[in-house]
Amino acid sequence: MRVIVILILIVIAIGLARMLVGDVVKAVSKTIKAPPDAPADPQSASTAGRLVKDPETGSYIDERTAVKADVKGTTYYFESAASRDAFLRKQRS
C-alpha cells in the first residue's frame, strides 16, 4: 500500500515539474524573441527616414515611403493615396 501511494505521489510530482518547466521555457522564449516589428538587420534601423504625421489619420510614417501632396506651398505626407484623397477633398470643401 505504501509503495502505491509513493508511486502516485511521484507521478504527480513529475507532472507538476513538467508543467512548471514548460511554462518557464515558454516565458524565456518569449523574452528572447525579437518583437515582430523589429528589423532583422539592426543597422537598417539607423537608416530609417524621418517620421512624419499623416494629417488625415494621425499615424506616423516614414517620409521616404509616404504619399506626398502639396497644398498652398505646404507639403503633406500620407500613409496611402486614399488618405491623401480624403484630405484633399476636405481642403476643397
Task: Give the pLDDT confidence score for residue 29 in this predicted structure.
Answer: 77
Q: What is the chain's mean pLDDT, rounded?
A: 85
Delimit the domains of the chain by residue range: 1-37, 48-92
Task: Give the pLDDT confidence score for residue 86 in this predicted structure.
Answer: 94
Q: Which of 7-11, 49-53, 82-86 is least confident? A: 49-53
DSSP 26-73: HHHHHHHSPPTTS-SSHHHHHT---EEE-TTT--EEETTTSEEEEETT
Higher pLDDT, 62 or 47: 62
DSSP designation for 80: S
For residues 12-39, average pLDDT: 79
Max Cα-Cα span within the chain: 91
